Structures are given as structure tokens and as C-alpha cells.
Amino acid sequence: MNNIAITGHSGFVGQNLLAYLKGGSNCLLLNRKDLENPNFESADIVIHLAGKAHDLKKVSNAQEYYDVNFELTKKLYDAFLHSDAKKFIFISSVKAAADSVNGILTEDIVPEPKTDYGKSKLLAEQYIQNQPLPAGKSYLILRPCMIHGPGNKGNLNLLYQFVKKGIPYPLAGFGNKRSFLSVGNLCFVIKELIEPNDIASGIYQVADDEPLSTNEVVSILSASINKTPKLWKISTTLIRTIAKFGDKFHLPLTTERLTKLTESYIVSNQKIKKAIGKNLPSNSREGLEITAASFAQR
């Protein structure tokens, strides 16, 4: 049985991962005090989940991203290198690569993050990659896309609340596609990585197989509470004109916000699937149905 040191165990992914690994591994849970002077001598594997999440409200102090996502990761990785632990799994983000995507995002892209969140994650990735790696050790940097599942409090939950209240989705005329990642699939990937294997150190994107349009997501959320989806296909030209007025008069809908709501962001998962040699247990729709069911139970 592996001894696995886990940071960020109280977070959304951490709680789901602990439930997923229950009984199969000996999990060593690191608290904030442990992170001040990390010691991995009793660990075989380190899973670093702790981090400062992307602040959609834009109220965070920029330096916090670098202190937590970069400096803390640097400290933990240094401790790993000087320990007997063999494998370091770092949960980064696709935002370390790009904030917007033309076509399909792969690991071959030259990273160009625009936000402090993405930049801090990229700095951590680069630090890990640039350190000499002792024989017998490996690192695995995972770049998940938008993660969802039971306990999730992000944008999907907000969209679900609109659906529940019967508010129509007014941007149905935009044909965007986005990749999602169910937390169950992420836990499956992590579990496969902690098993004995010869997977090469490097960066691996993690996403469900099929990207979905926002219209499809609204339909799935609606079906979870037996509602007919309300999709308004208002002229995209009209919506863009309204957004331009929003830019000028500081209205809720601006060009920037409209782009974020309607852009496509498709992430390839082929590299990680080839590495583990297995298919993901859930498809995109099944994962969202599980998440929607969890919303309905709250």
C-alpha cells in the first residue's frame, strides 16, 4: 500500500479524491502548519492539490497567486527532491497554457497565460521542469480544464440556479464548445498515476472526452429537474451591439464578459489517455448529470 502525502485535502478536489482512494492507500494529510516546513520522508508519493483558485470576481491580491501557487509549490518540490518519495503529482491548470483557444489545446502549445493565476501556475510548472531529477524519481504535472462534481460551487452551480428559476438562457445563438472535467474522471486519472508504472515525467492535460456547447449544458441541467430548457436564440449581432453599449455605459453585459460566456475552449486529453492506457470511466454527459443531481439534492 502506498503512503501518499496530500496537500489541499479539504478542498473540492481533495475531498472527492480522499473518498475515491478510501481503503486503497494510506493518505498522509498535510495541514497548513505542515506546509511551513514540509517533510516527505514517510511518503512514497506526493499529491499537491493546494493552491489559490482563479478569482472570477477579480478582487484578490495578485501577489497571493505567486505566494501560494508558485512559492509554496517550489518549497514542496524541493522537499520532495530531498526525500525518499518517488513521485510528485502537481495539479496545475490549462490556464497555465492559454486563456483562450483557437482550435484544440494540446500540450505542445507555447504557454502564454494572461492572468496572475495562470502565470503563477506556469512559474510552478517551469520550476519543477527545470530542477535536476534524481534517478528513481518522477514528476507529473496535470493541467485540468473546468472541474465539476458533487460539492462544486463554480459557474455550473450559478447556471443551474438560473435554470431552476426558469430564467431563459439568452445566448443560445452562439455555437460555442467547451471541454469539462468531471471530478470522478480526474480522481480516476490520479489513481492510475499513483499505481506502479513507467509513465514519463511531463505535462498532461486532463479533460472529459467530448466538449459540450452551453446549450447542451443548459439542456442537461434542465433535464435533471424535469424542466424544458429555455434557450433564446437572439440575434448574435444584436447581442454584440448591446455588449458594446455595455462597454460604453458600464452595463452588466460587456464585450469582455460576452466573449468569456460564448467562447470555445476545447482541450485534448489524448496524451494522458495514451499514458495510462485506459479510457475514462464517464463521458461528458454522464459527468454533468452526476453534478446536476448533486445540485438538486442541496
pLDDT per residue as tens digits for the range 217-257: 999 999 999 999 999 999 999 999 999 999 999 998 999 88
Q: What is the pLDDT of residue 78?
A: 98
Predicted TM-score (pTM) of this structure: 0.93
- pLDDT category, 23, cuts 50, 70, 90? confident
> Residue range 32-52: average pLDDT?
95
What structural domains and CATH numbers belong to the chain? 3-152+180-207+268-273 (3.40.50.720)
Within 8 A by CB and 6+ apart from 163, the residues are 169, 218, 221, 222, 225, 227, 229, 230
Q: What is the pLDDT of residue 155?
A: 81
CA distances 143 to 1, 102, 235, Å, are 27, 18, 35
Burial 156-191 (b: 16+ CB within 10 A, else e): bbebbeebeeeeebebbbbebebbbbbbbbbbbbbe
